[in-house]
Amino acid sequence: MKNPFDLTGQVAVVTGSSKGIGRSIAEIMAAMGAKVVVSSRKADACEAVADGIRKAGGDATVIPCHIGRKEDCEALVKGAVAKYGRIDAMVCNAAVNPYFGPLSGISDEQWDKIMESNIRSNLWLANLTAPGMAERGGGTITIVSSIGGLKGSAKLGAYAVSKAADFGLARSLAVELGPKNIRVNAIAPGLVKTDFARALWEDKANLDKRLENSPLKRIGDPDDIGGVAAFLASKAASFITGQVIVADGGVTIA
């Protein structure tokens, strides 16, 4: 029996993959055999990741993309297809959070930036990749969301709203695209030690509280999420769609 976790032959596009969770996803998928498109706003940061993948024996290319710009998303998909001929797995990982505070203080510009980058860009990328996937008999779309979407927040309210919306987006896309053998899922990480979440895990009081409430007594590492994304793109997950996979060390069940 062929290894159901093997990604050999797949082409994966991972947004926000120059560091953190996105970088782990790209590296793990490449290690499992996928050809990977590394993408973020800064080409030089992406090239460092792609070079590391190549040195480890993998296949990677760089296509910069600002997810808030539709033309960039279009160029990302077009460039990936031009390079590798197809896209089998689209991983929508890039996200922003330009505001920390109560919803009563958020500006329209900050709200729009969060919703455009964290939700609308995922819809763009899904709509851009789904037709090609359908022509080839299927594919996967994975949205990296957050456990922030499972509850309210006094300081990260807008971000939480966007992440909750990603759950709904994944479910609706799964229903729509399922007949075309395109699986769509979301991942909801807990607190992970990344630059993006640095303000949360460097806050000792917040970290101590999180550890106290975590059955595993630790916060996450990017590789804790990278493996989940790789799994969802594999044959091992062929009967999973429309789901939110929570990877939080048990915080939400404690």
pLDDT digits (tens, 9 = 90+) for 113-150: 999 999 999 999 999 999 999 999 999 999 999 999 99
99 is catalytic: no
pLDDT of residue 208: 85
Q: What's the CA gap between 82 and 105, in Å, rounded?
A: 44
Tell if the pTM clears 0.85, that is, is over it: yes
Q: Looking up tokens 């790209």, which residue turns up?
A: 26
Residues of the chain predicted below pLDDT 50: none
pLDDT of residue 196: 77
Which residue in 159, 184, 188, 232 is the catalytic one?
159
Class of domain 11-247: alpha beta
Domain ranges (residues) in the chain: 11-247
